[in-house]
Amino acid sequence: MKFTTIALGSAISVAYAAVPGDRSQFAERATYAVVGKPEGFATGTTGGGSAACAIPSNVAELKTWLTDSTARCIVLDKEYNFKGTEGTTTETGCRPASNTCPGNGGQDAINKASWCTNGNAGAGVTSISVTYDTAGVAGINVRSNKSIIGVGSKGVIRGKGLRIANGAKNVIIQNIHITELNPQYIWGGDAITVDGADLVWVDHCKVSLIGRQMFVAGTGASNRVTLSNNEFDGSTSWSATCDGHHYWAIYLTGSSDLITMKNNYIHHTSGRSPKVGGNSLVHAVNNYWYANSGHAFDNGAGGMVVAEGNVFQNVVTPLLENAGQFFGSPSTSANMVCSTYLGHNCQLNSFGSSGTLGGTDTAFLANFKGKSIASASTASSSVTSLAGVGKI
Q: Are 160 and 140 in contact (CB under 8 A)?
A: yes
Say if residues 385 and 229 touch (Cβ distance below 8 Å).
no
Q: Is the dihedral of CA 277, 289, 141, 48 positive or negative?
A: negative
Do 264 and 232 contact (CB within 8 A), yes or no?
Answer: yes
Burial of 239 (0-12, 13-18, 19+ CB in 10 A): buried
CA angle 166, 170, 175 (to 5 degrees): 110
Cα-flanking dihedrals φ and ψ of residue 113, to 5°? 55, 35
Give one DSSP letter per residue of 166-209, joined into a string: TT-EEEEEES-EEEEE-TTEETS--SEEEES-EEEEEES-EEEE
Backbone angles phi, psi at 153, to 5 degrees: -110, 20
**Catalytic amino acids?**
272
C-alpha 362 chain-centroid distance? 27
Alpha carbon distances (Å) from 314 to 37, 175, 270, 289, 296: 32, 27, 11, 8, 11
Task: Judge contact between 76 and 157, C-beta under 8 A.
Answer: yes
CB of 206 within 8 A of CB of 199? no
Nearest Cα neighbor of 173 from 224, 227, 135 is 227
Q: How far is CA 166 from CA 194, 196, 222, 335, in A?
A: 9, 5, 10, 38
What are the residues facing 251 on neighbouring strands? 216, 275
